[in-house]
């Protein structure tokens, strides 16, 4: 079934088109807006699941391709397609989007239709990013995403939302301008924006270097990597819960995705040459940012910093793989590191989404994100506390949760390049546990902190559904990550082959 349907276009455009009736429902009929949005995201999720039976995971080829001429004078094609890596990220997006809509059900009361519409547009654009096979199409989706997110933070955000939105927008826009310049240069070299063509085009060392750094700036901001990470804590703090969930769970992944779709295939030699830069930045993220997370007083800021530290494993895994395959010809270890990085992306989606949803549950009740305003929440919200501790453990990378899988393989692969890199990365075991458990201790455990906490009510059915769904994903892929590794093994093996070949001209 669905074999002849343009599945990818459907899941991209269905939510975007559904945004129109959602918007038309207007602020007078918030429930209609909610139901339309929910129906659209659920349908999109189901359609995205329909990819799986029509998809051959043993092949590294781009599948379910759709190609139409878009701008003939520039030879730009509306060209979509997915491999295992894309499928995993698309499913993460559609899954999370349903939960974001459900989560916003009770916590967004103002301008409901607009909020829901923005979310739907955002969902479609993000899926588009993961399906694009043409660099210009990618770029359009990539930049387009900024707009609904800009609106989400700017309209439904907290007190300093203007500063945060501008910082978020200018930071990321600043980064992507470099990518645009790089893409235009490539276009003049190759006469096309087709990603497969760009990967073939010969580039000398100098060209590769310039392009590599142009891409690095764009994607490093997105991930975000130290030292261009400071927009993230501010954006998270001001964003509404749903915005934070989407930002952490999906949007950050686009940075990691960009590295494997652009930097590695197009500039393999420069990526190898400057891998040490990215590895160093990733290790700083793990250690430095871990310490910074430790002292945060705002729960969202703490989780935001923890996100940066965890995303450090993604970039670390990608670039140590490069070093492994290039200087040691150790393909298997390179695949392990890359798998670790990709699994970490998916897992971090669930865990950070869940952590921000947890903060949302508390924020909806007390309207504060400050750690000191809580304490002893377990006494009044035992169900919530159970979930919170579970996600905290996943955030610490406890085996049995998905948080373990990626970090485990990245550290194991890193040891093969240099034990000291592995040691610095493994430091997350200690510092990650320290900042997460200290948060748990201060918020969840202890005597009831104050009168407001004493009056807290435990999660309602809707909140339980959201967190239980995340919990199911975290445990499933912790106890049995093989489906993920099977899905992504072929494209990763292909990518490793690809970066092995120098294209220096």
Partner 1 sequence: MITPKLILIVIALAPLFGAIVAGLFGSRVGRAGAHSVTIAGVGVSFLLSCYVLYQLATGGWGVFNENLYTWFQVGPLSANVGFLVDRLTAVMMVVVTSVSLLVHVYTIGYMAEDPGYQRFFSYISLFTFSMLMLVMSNNFMQLFFGWEAVGLVSYLLIGFWFKRPSAIFANMKAFIVNRVGDFGFLLGIAAVLYWFGSLDYTQVFNAAPTTLPGKSLELIAGHPWAAATVIGVLLFIGAMGKSAQVPLHVWLPDSMEGPTPISALIHAATMVTAGIFMVARMSPLYELSDAALSFVMVIGATTALFTGLIGIVQNDVKRVVAYSTLSQLGYMTVALGVSAYSAAIFHLMTHAFFKALLFLGAGSVIIAMHHEQDMRHMGGLKKYLPITFATAWIGTLALTGFPGFSGFFSKDAIIEAAHESHRWGSGYAYFCVLVGVFVTALYSFRLIYLTYHGKERFVVEDKHHGHGHDAHHGDAHDDHHGHHEPGHLEHAPHEPGWVVWLPLVLLAIPSIVAGWWIGPMVYGDFFAGAIANVHPAGAEAAHGAHEWHGPLAMLVHGLTAAPFWFAVAGFATATYVYLFNPSIADKAAKAFAPLYRLLQNKYGIDDLYFAIFARGGVGLGRGLWRGGDVAVIDDGIVNGSASLVARVAATVRRVQSGYLYHYAFAMIVGLIVLLGGFWLAAR
Among 426, 466, 473, 487, binds partner 1 (CB under 8 A): 426
Helix, strand, coil tally for the chain in percent (to 5) = 80, 5, 20
Q: Which is nearer to partner 1, 18 or 394 (CB)?
A: 394
3-state secondary structure of 66: strand
Of residues 375, 362, 217, the one with CA closest to residue 303: 362
To partner 1, the closest distance from the beta carbon of 316 in angstroms equals 14
Q: Which is nearer to partner 1, 20 or 429 (CB)?
A: 429
Among 291, 298, 464, 476, binds partner 1 (CB under 8 A): 291
- Counting contacts by CB under 8 A, is residue 422 touching partner 1? yes
Give the C-alpha separation, 449 to 379, whole Å: 10
Q: Report 325-364 residues binding partner 1 (CB under 8 A).
A: 331-332, 335-336, 339
Contact mark string toward partner 1, 69..98, x via CB under 8 A: ------------------------------
**What is the DSSP pairing of strand 63-71 with strand 76-82?**
antiparallel
To partner 1, the closest distance from the beta carbon of 406 in angstroms equals 11
Contact mark string toward partner 1, 292..321, x via CB under 8 A: xxxxx-------------------------
Q: Tally helices (H) and strands (E) across the chain.
A: 25, 2
Q: Which is nearer to partner 1, 5 or 163 (CB)?
A: 163
Of residues 258, 294, 276, the one with CA closest to residue 439: 294
- Counting contacts by CB under 8 A, is residue 469 touching partner 1? no
Residue 397 sits at the vertex; the CA angle it makes with 391 and 399, to the nearest 5 degrees, is: 100
Judge contact between 208 and 267, C-beta under 8 A.
yes
**Nearest 5°: phi and psi at 370?**
-75, 135
* End-to-end Cα spacing for the chain: 46
Instruction: For residue 134, list its beta bridge partners.
Output: 194
Among 56, 400, 454, 504, binds partner 1 (CB under 8 A): 400
Give the C-alpha separation, 385 to 369, whole Å: 16
- Counting contacts by CB under 8 A, is residue 212 touching partner 1? no
- Counting contacts by CB under 8 A, is residue 416 touching partner 1? yes
Residues found near partner 1 in the complex (CB under 8 A): 167, 170-171, 227, 230-231, 288, 291-296, 331-332, 335-336, 339, 376, 378-379, 389, 393, 396, 398-400, 404-405, 408-409, 411-412, 414-416, 419-420, 422-423, 426-427, 429-431, 433-434, 437-438, 441, 444-447, 479-482, 485-486, 489, 492-493
């Amino acid at each position: 079934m669905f074999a002849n349907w343009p599945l990818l276009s459907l899941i991209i455009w269905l939510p975007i088109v559904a945004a129109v009736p959602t918007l038309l429902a207007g602020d007078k009929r918030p429930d209609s807006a909610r139901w339309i949005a929910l129906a659209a995201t659920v349908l999109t999720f189901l359609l995205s699941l329909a990819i799986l039976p029509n998809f051959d995971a043993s092949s590294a080829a781009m599948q379910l391709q759709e190609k139409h001429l878009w701008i003939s004078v520039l030879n730009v094609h509306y060209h979509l397609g997915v491999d295992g890596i894309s499928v995993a990220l698309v499913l993460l997006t559609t899954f999370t989007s349903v939960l974001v809509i459900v989560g916003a059900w009770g916590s967004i009361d103002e301008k409901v239709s607009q909020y829901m519409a923005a979310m739907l547009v955002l969902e479609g654009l993000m899926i588009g990013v993961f399906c694009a096979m043409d660099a210009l199409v990618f770029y359009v989706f990539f930049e387009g995403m900024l707009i609904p997110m800009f609106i989400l933070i700017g309209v439904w955000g907290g007190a300093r939302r203007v500063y945060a939105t501008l910082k978020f927008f200018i930071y990321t826009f600043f980064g992507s301008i470099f990518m645009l310049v790089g893409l235009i240069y490539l276009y003049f070299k190759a006469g096309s924006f087709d990603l497969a063509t760009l990967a073939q085009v010969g580039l000398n060392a100098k060209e590769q270097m310039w392009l590599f750094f142009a891409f690095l700036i764009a994607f490093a901001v997105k991930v975000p990597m130290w030292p261009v990470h400071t927009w993230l804590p501010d954006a998270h703090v001001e964003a509404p819960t749903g915005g934070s969930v989407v930002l952490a769970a999906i949007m950050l992944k686009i940075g990691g995705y960009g590295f494997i779709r652009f930097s590695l295939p197009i500039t393999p030699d420069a990526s190898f040459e400057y891998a040490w830069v990215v590895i160093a930045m990733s290790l700083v993220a793990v250690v430095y940012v871990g310490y910074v997370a430790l002292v945060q007083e705002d729960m969202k800021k703490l989780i935001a910093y923890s996100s940066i530290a965890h995303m450090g494993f993604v970039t670390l895994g990608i670039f140590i793989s490069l070093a492994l395959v290039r200087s040691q010809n150790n393909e298997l270890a390179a695949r392990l590191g890359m798998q670790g990085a990709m699994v970490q992306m998916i897992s971090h989606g669930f865990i950070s989404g869940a952590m921000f949803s947890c903060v949302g549950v508390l924020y909806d009740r007390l309207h504060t994100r400050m750690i000191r305003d809580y304490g002893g929440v377990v006494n009044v919200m035992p169900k919530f506390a159970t979930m919170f501790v579970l996600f905290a453990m996943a955030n610490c990378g406890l085996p049995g949760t998905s948080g373990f899988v990626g970090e485990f393989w990245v550290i194991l692969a890193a040891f093969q390049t240099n034990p000291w890199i592995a040691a610095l990365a493994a430091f997350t075991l200690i510092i990650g546990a320290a900042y997460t458990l200290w948060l748990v201790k201060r918020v969840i455990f202890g005597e009831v902190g104050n009168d407001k906490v004493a009056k807290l009510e435990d999660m309602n059915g809707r909140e339980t559904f959201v967190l239980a769904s995340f919990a199911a994903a975290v445990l499933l892929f912790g106890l049995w990550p093989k489906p993920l590794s099977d899905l992504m093994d072929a494209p990763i093996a292909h990518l490793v082959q690809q970066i092995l070949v120098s294209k220096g001209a």
